[in-house]
Structure 1
Amino acid sequence: MRPWLLLSAALLPGVAAAGHDVSLGVTAVTLTNGGVYNVTTPRFGLDAAYAYELDNWRFGGGLRWAPSGQGNLPVEVYARALLTTRLGRWRPAVGPELGVSGLPIIIPPQGGFPDDLSRKQAMQLGPAYVAMHAAPLRFVFQHFTVSALEVQWGTTLNQPGATLRLQVGLVHLGVLL
């Protein structure tokens, strides 16, 4: 028997358990440090994601675009590794996310604050972040996925704990390929 045929037969069960998921969703992101830069108004945006499902793991990443408000380039790029379980149609998932964000907004201080306060605040808001992502209301219907109220909580990597990142994925619709 040919070696490539043996290899494909050995890998076939793993391939059958794997899947590709492409989704598009609406999200709201809030970034705050509790100080002068204390923006509690969420930034709404679109989230395009890809995930490779292998057994109980979802590996993937995506791109977020949140054009509302002032600030840097309103784009985020991220990667995730989520642990999931299968309970009928219900497929909740949880795990870490690592990303680079252009979303932080620096608001010029008013009311007698030092001129260099914006620069000091910007140093706390580095572009790289780490977060814990949870999708408790994720469901699969044949070749389609629906997820609502995903929650993400995290901080920047340059000064962990100096800023809080809170994100709510309002709804994600996807297709299993």
Structure 2
Amino acid sequence: MRPWLLLTAVLFPGVAAAGHDVSLGVTAVTLTNGGVYNVTTPRLGLDATYAYELGSWRLGGGLRWAPSGRGNLPVEVYARALLTPQLGRWRPAVGPELGVSGLPVILPPEGGFPDDLMRRQASQLGPAYVAVHAAPLRFDFRPFTVSALELQWGTTLNQPGATLRLQFGLVHLGVTL
């Protein structure tokens, strides 16, 4: 057994059984509400995921770290349930993601805006979000998986539709244990 697989099995007890997938990837997240808080520059980050394959479903979650830019704790924790049909080596995935994010940033308004604008903007940017996650270019080369150009579209839960969350998974490399 390779040393890094052994290390993964030691760090995550019970993960060494077949059907468990761990992956690392690079992602870009953009959060906007179309108003004063209109940050269109994506925040680059790292994404570590775990999934358990149960038939055509991938159940799991992960941790996303996006240190670029200003803001709260630049970490997100999430859970997902993805439907993944098997079409040869091609394993596209789509499904909901529910998470808690520390990424939203309130930019100080400039130029004659009301004093309570930052408070009103902050009320629209709650930490909990819901999103639809799609990985159309996901391939399985047992025991490795490769995914590129993933897309996620979502909003915060405290005021659905008040903010837009876009995430682009640039590349994910994983291993099935």
Flag whether TM exceeds 0.5 (same fold). Answer: yes
Match of 2:15 in 1: none
Match of 1:43 in 2: 43
Report how far residue 119 of structure 1 moved.
1.0
Tell me whether 1:70 sits opposite 2:70 in the alignment: yes
Tell me whether 1:175 sits opposite 2:175 in the alignment: yes
Report 1:61-100 matches (<5 A). 61-100=61-100
Alpha-carbon RMSD across the aligned residues, in angstroms, is 1.0
| Structure 1 residues without counterparts, runs of 5 or longer | 1-17
Tell me whether 1:105 sits opposite 2:105 in the alignment: yes
C-alpha distance in structure 2 between counterparts of 1:176 and 1:47, whole Å: 17
C-alpha distance in structure 2 between counterparts of 1:137 and 1:99, whole Å: 23
Match of 2:157 in 1: 157
Q: Secondary structure at the match of 2:71?
A: coil
Tell me whether 1:29 sits opposite 2:9 in the alignment: no
Match of 2:57 in 1: 57
C-alpha distance in structure 2 between counterparts of 1:68 and 1:117, whole Å: 24
Q: Secondary structure at the match of 1:119?
A: helix
Report how far residue 114 of structure 1 moved.
1.4
Larger radius of gyration: 1
Q: Secondary structure at the match of 1:122?
A: helix
Report how far residue 115 of structure 1 moved.
1.8
- Runs of 4+ displaced beyond 6 Å: none
| Structure 2 residues without counterparts, runs of 5 or longer | 1-17
Deviations 1:73-93 (A, max 9, x none): 000000000001111100000
C-alpha distance in structure 2 between counterparts of 1:171 and 1:105, whole Å: 25
Tell me whether 1:146 sits opposite 2:154 in the alignment: no
Report how far residue 47 of structure 1 moved.
0.2
Specify the code of the residue in structure 1 equivalent to 2:60: G
C-alpha distance in structure 2 between counterparts of 1:174 and 1:67, whole Å: 22
TM-score using structure 1 length? 0.90
State the identity %.
87
The count of residues paired between Structure 1 and Structure 2 equals 161
C-alpha distance in structure 1 between counterparts of 2:49 and 2:78, whole Å: 9
Specify the code of the residue in structure 2 equivalent to 1:154: G
C-alpha distance in structure 1 between counterparts of 2:114 and 2:68, whole Å: 27
Deviations 1:51-70 (A, max 9, x none): 00010000000000000010
